[in-house]
Amino acid sequence: MAPWIAATLAAALVQTIRFSLQKSLRGSGLSSGGATFSRFLFAAPLAALLATGLVTATGSGWPDMPPRFWVMVVTGGLAQIIATLATVALFAARNFAVGIAFTKTETVLVAAFSAVVLGEAVTAPGLAAILIGVVGVLLLSVPAGGQLRSVFNRASALGLVAGAFFGISAIGYRGATLALGDGNAALRAAVTLAAVTAFQTIAMLIWLRLREPGEISRVVSRWRMTALVGITGMLGSFGWFVAFALQNAAYVRALGQVELLFSILGGWLIFRETTRPREWLGMAVLAVSILMLVLVV
């Protein structure tokens, strides 16, 4: 198995666990902003420790961080904050598994952004796999009545916003790892992750202090669960960043749709959610897309 595939699968699994924890936090009285902040609060120091440990272990020293690196870090970090806020808010609008599915509209956008911003176009078979995955997402997005006009509601809007900004964040993170050169992929991923989570923590601290007084204290008071969110968030993000350091972001995010299958399993086991026949079909189509990516990329 290619290293980028293993890193992506591991990241998708851990991210599903983290989203489950964040959904529980959202139901425990925290706002969308508070649940999102919990994602970064404990992840930032852990990411810094990971980066420092890898720099020490490899003996290579800290890589040069040119202006392009910081532009990509800030762009990706802000985009992920917006996308995470939209995703957490989406949990209250529709069930857990389908809520995650709405965010998967990002894959085509990532392919386009990757070609335009980074000059990394996808192959024809890779694009076919991505488009098949989009079909699976659309099947999962159509409401029970099958009336397309009912797709365009608050839930779908939140999902589209989340998907677009997750796409932007993926390009930012891929660009940041590339800006560090072509050295050790794990080291580049860890340094990028440390920079991103530090920036995101500061940005969210300022936002919550100004817009939601008292929310920071509520997050800290739930430190047992918020710490778990931070740990899983850091581990999942490290997996994504390693994959971004090794492969075109479009392929990474397309393969990452396996997270949807993990989330449905989580919905069954944790939240006792049910799955409609149309969603079963959507999952089958997504499985075909994921298999194609593994075989042709």
Q: Mind listing the pLDDT tens digit for each residue in 208-266?
A: 999 888 889 988 887 877 788 778 888 999 999 999 999 999 999 889 888 877 777 76
Q: What is the pLDDT of residue 148?
A: 47
pLDDT at 8 over 50: yes
Query: Is the distance from CB of 122 to CB of 272 less than 8 angstroms?
Result: no
For residues 257-280, average pLDDT = 74
Q: CA-CA distance, 132 to 116, in Å (whole number)?
A: 22
- The band of 2, judged by pLDDT with boundaries at 50, 70 and 90, is confident
Give the pLDDT confidence of 121-164 residue by residue, as tens digits: 899 999 999 889 888 877 766 655 544 445 556 767 787 888 88
Q: What is the pLDDT of residue 97?
A: 54
Q: What is the pLDDT of residue 174?
A: 96
* Structural domain containing residue 167: 3-296
Residues in CB range of 216: below 8 A, 6 or more apart: 34, 37, 205, 208, 209
Q: What is the pLDDT of residue 153?
A: 64
Tell me how many domains the chain contains: 1
Q: What is the pLDDT of residue 205?
A: 93
Give the pLDDT confidence of 161-203 residue by residue, as tens digits: 888 898 999 999 999 999 999 889 999 999 999 999 999 999 9
Q: CA-CA distance, 17 to 270, in Å (whole number)?
A: 10
Give the pLDDT confidence of 50-71 residue by residue, as tens digits: 999 999 998 888 999 999 999 9
For residues 82-105, average pLDDT = 69
Q: What is the pLDDT of residue 23?
A: 65
Residues in CB range of 31: below 8 A, 6 or more apart: 212, 215
Three-state secondary structure of 202-267? HHHHHHHHHHCCCHHHHHHHCHHHHHHHHHHHHHHHHHHHHHHHHCCHHHHHHHCCHHHHHHHHHH
Average pLDDT score, the chain = 83
Q: What is the pLDDT of residue 222?
A: 79
For residues 4-15, average pLDDT = 91
pTM score of the predicted model = 0.84
- The band of 283, judged by pLDDT with boundaries at 50, 70 and 90, is confident
Collapsing DSSP to helix, strand or coil, 104 comes out as helix
